[in-house]
Structure 1
Amino acid sequence: MALPEARLRPSPELRTTAFYFTYYMGPGAAVMFLPIWLSEKGIGTEQIGLINAVPVFAILAFNLIIGRVADRAKDWRQVIVIGALIAGIVPIGLFFVNEFWGILLFWTLAALPGGAVTPVLDAATMRMTRRNGSDFGTIRAWGTVGYMLFNALTGFLVVWFGSAIFVPLFVGLALLRAAAALQLPAFRAPADQVTVASVRPVAGKLREVITKPWFILPLIGFSIIFGTHYILNAFASLLWKEQGISENIIGPLIALGALSEAGMMFLWRRFGGRVSARHLILASAIMSVLRWTAMAFSPPVWALVLLQLTHGITYALGYLGCVHFIANWTSEDIAAETQSLFTVSQQVMSVLALVSFGWLVGLYGAHAYLIASAAAVVGALCIWLSLRMMQPKEDVAVG
């Protein structure tokens, strides 16, 4: 006798995990080789900076709009699938451009839909896992695994096939992500099913939520922490090279951070439900202060290994804490919009950090990390103030 179709189809969690696994593969390849590919096209460093920066500004402009549209749709899945399909088709234009303006146009249009739906995907997955009693962290961790996989694999592919492989690889990964989106499940709870997060929502309108200082302060605090991590991405390899560390050591050091991030996400369920979300965010802020302070004094490689392994605490722990915090205190009707606001806050802080830190590195070298440490102190104070204003909920893992 044939099994029912529902028994034959993979679970919603497995289908979402498959999508997350493909979601960051393209960015993983781009981080590895995009600057080199652009340089080979004769594009200068200032223009390379613009090609990386313009998509961030475009995503900033659209994040809240996309989040609002997603919350008003029948299901968040619709917006996620449309975004993935657009992000899969647009990069094909990269085959037909070779100069700055054409690449800037298609790279921005390719990055925009994926970046804009990321907070929608996080919010939708969080609500689904809360409803089903499954683990958001494990699902999200596979996104980091996909990212790491193509950080490493892209280098080998370029060695084997030459730099011409980059555009076909990136387009192929974008199309793979689009195909994976088509099998995503419905995320929103049925009308007659109450979710954990909707039992005690703060309010039904975003403006009412963000005017509560105890709610917005932790998100601002971690956004500052997130901005300091963008400093690491942009300048760590340069500073390490100036310190005399060779490229074959720098690569594994960068990979250690991503490995630590994935490990924290996989382990989240073992302890994430035992401590309040804001206390976990505060822990990430305190560890960030210590990490950046140590980085300011150009430590030896063995110390850098230990510092990179703290990435799971300084970034992943705080990120997961924020996603859970948002889900704990908001209702489903503003879930994606609130998550989008959080993403916008992170991006604004990242842009400010990149602009200011580039100038500080020129003046002070590695000692500029002390400014990042001071910024992390400010982030920690924001989170601490929130805890003073409103205590966490008394039930599981939360507030």
Structure 2
Amino acid sequence: MPASAFARRVSMLYAALFACVGIYLPYLPLWLGAKGMDTREIAAILAAQVAVRLVTGPFCAFLADRTGRPRRMMVTLAALSILCLAGLSVVEGFWPILLLTVVMAGAWTPVLPLAEAFAISGAERFRLDYGRLRLWGSLSFIAASAGTGMMLDRIETAHVIFVLVAAQIAFLLVALSLPTRAVGGETLRRTAGVRLSPHDVGRLVRAPLFLVFLGAASLTQASHGVFYAFGSLHWQELGYSGGMIGALWALGVWAEVALFAMSGRIMGHVGAAGLIALGAGMAMVRWTGMAFDPGLWPLVGLQVLHAFTFGATHLGTMHFLLRAVPQPMHNTAQGLYATVSGGVMMSLVTWASGPLYRSWGGLAYLGAAALGAMSLVLALLLVATWRGGHVAEPPETRGGA
């Protein structure tokens, strides 16, 4: 397959994937409310989803590496998620909805790290700029969340589940079109004879530099938890209109897209560990500034820093995992990172942000700035000690080729 065709398909994969995320994140709670769930039941359903993600994310990523079939795993999980959504469109009552949403979350959660591992590995083989592939996900997120919001002015909230079904079907179709072979006919499957074992995974999670990386990247990403949970509410309390709040959110994502568009040049100058350190440093600046309610124009500048707090950290993370983790363990490493960063750390920060915001209001952002400071210490340690090689030994070859 030519590099241009691979780039188109992976760009479409990201667009379809983040269209699903752009519908799911903002509107699933609204759909649950429309189905008659009260606030306690909605909280229970969302918490149960987080719990199951902590198991299925790393487990499915490990299976993808062990079997050497990440595309098949993506397709299977997406199909299971669609079946659950189809069931949700017809069931009623708390327990059936809880069961199906938990299974759906368990199936859908591993899809993102599997897609990331597939994309970054393919971009390396085809000498493509990963950021220019990934930016289509960010653009799609904006379009899907805004478009679904406008649709809800014309359709019942309970029907948003059908929009999500359509988006996931689109993702499944794109996933089915992905290549199984790369440049020169080299297979995207595992190296012949290599079979990942739990012992190999244990070596990775005990590797000191992997743990330093995991702490640095996860702390910066988790520092967004205060903002994601209470950013809009705080701006509303400060008197910003709904339109202005939406514009500020969109500005952050557009800044992220701009960074992704220039990622190739930035990577060449800063490097993976340097990008993670840059994201941590900008997290300290961004959250400290937001803690003191600086007014609209300084806030605009602080929102532009999302390009670094999220975008630079994400780019550094993807390139670190590509270079520091042996190829037969890429999916597993992505799954572990997603579980720690988006699962454990983000859940803890989001939970802690509630009492912090209740007691201190906008000053709760100082807690997020403290996470950025801790991340910066670890990121600078990574910059000083990682020399660009693997942080763990590759899996042993087992059996014949």
Fold in common (TM above 0.5): yes
Greater mean alpha carbon deviation, residues 305-314 or residues 179-188: 179-188
Contact 1:75 1:187 in 2 (8 A): no
Contact residue 119 and residue 339 of structure 1 kept, 8 A: yes
Deviation at 1:55, TM superposition (A): 1.6
Can you list the C-alpha shifts for 1:229-250, whole angstroms capped at 9, x where unaligned? 1221111011111112121211
Q: 1:268 and 2:253 equivalent?
A: no
For the aligned residue pairs, the C-alpha RMSD in angstroms reads 2.5
Q: Deviation digits for residues 24-61 of structure 1, max 9, x if unmatched?
A: 21221233333333223332223222322322221111
Amino acid at match of 2:375: G
Q: Which moved more, 1:224-233 or 1:281-290?
A: 224-233
Q: What amino acid sits opposite 1:170 in the alignment?
A: L
Provide the C-alpha distance between the structure 2 equivalents of 1:61 and 1:45, rounded to a whole number of angstroms: 25
Structure 2 residue identity aligned to 1:241: Q
Q: CA deviation at 1:122?
A: 0.9
Residue identity in the other structure for 1:382:
L
In structure 1, the residue matched to 2:179 is 185
One-letter amino acid of the structure 1 residue matched with residue 146 of structure 2: A
Of residues 30, 34, 37, the one that matches 1:40 is: 34
> Which residue is 1:368 aligned to?
364
State the match for 1:321 in structure 2: 316
Residue 199 of structure 1 aligns with which residue? none
CA shift digits 1:50-75 (9 cap, x unpaired):
32232222111112211111112233
Q: 1:19 to 1:192 in 2, by over 3 A?
A: closer
Which sits farther off after the overlay, 14-23 or 39-48? Answer: 39-48
Partner of 1:63: 57
Q: Are the aligned partners of 1:25 and 1:146 in contact in 2 as well (CA < 8 Å)?
A: yes
Aligned partner of 1:289: which letter?
A: M
- Structure 2 CA distance for aligned equivalents of residues 236 and 226 of structure 1: 15
1:285–1:307 Cα change, 3 Å: same
Shift of 1:328: 0.7
Q: In terms of mean alpha carbon deviation, does 169-178 or 106-115 score higher?
A: 106-115
> How many residues are aligned here?
381
Q: Percent identity?
A: 28
The alpha-carbon distance between structure 1 residues 297 and 194, as it changes in their structure 2 partners (threshold 3 A), is same
- Which residue number corresponds to residue 196 of structure 2? none
Report whether the alignment pairs 1:351 with 2:341: no
Q: Deviations over 1:325-380 (max 9, x none)?
A: 11111211111111111111102110110111111111111101111111111111
Deviations 1:236-276 (Å, cap 9, x if unpaired)? 01111111212121111112222222222222112212222
- Which shifted more, 94-103 or 330-339? 94-103
* Greater Cα shift, 288-297 or 94-103: 94-103
Aligned to 2:395: none
Aligned to 1:96, the other structure's residue is in SS state coil
1:72 aligned partner: 66
CA distance in 2, matches of 1:46, 1:37: 15
CA contact (8 A) 2:121 2:322 kept: yes
Counterpart amino acid of residue 346 in structure 2: S
Q: Which residue of 2 aligns with 1:330?
A: 325
Q: Render the CA deviation track for 1:185-239: whole Å, top value 9, x for unaligned.
A: 12678896899xxxxxxxx933223323223202211101111112211110111
Match of 1:215 in 2: 210
Q: 118, 122, 129: which is aligned to 1:128?
A: 122
Q: Structure 1: which 5+ runs fail to align?
A: 1-5, 196-203, 394-399
- The CA deviation at 1:315 is 0.6
Unaligned runs of 5+ in 2: 190-198, 390-401
**How far apart, CA to CA, are the structure 1 residues paired with 2:202 and 2:309?**
29
1:308 paired with 2:303, answer: yes
**Secondary structure at the residue paired with 1:24?**
helix
Closer, same or farther in 2 for the Cα pair 1:251/1:27, shift >3 Å?
Answer: same
> Aligned residue for 2:80?
86
Partner amino acid, structure 1, of 2:319: H
Q: Residue 230 of structure 2 corresponds to which residue in structure 1? A: 235
1:84-106 Cα offsets, whole Å, 9 max, x none, are 22222220011112333222222
From the superposition, tell whether residues 385 and 266 of structure 1 become closer, same or farther in structure 2 (CA, over 3 Å): same
Q: Does 1:381 align with 2:377?
A: yes
- What is the match of residue 151 of structure 2? 157
How far 1:308 moved relative to its partner? 1.3
Q: Residue 281 of structure 1: CA displacement?
A: 0.4
Say which of 276, 279, 291 aligns to 1:296: 291
CA distance in 1, matches of 2:100, 2:257: 30
CA shift for structure 1 position 158: 0.9
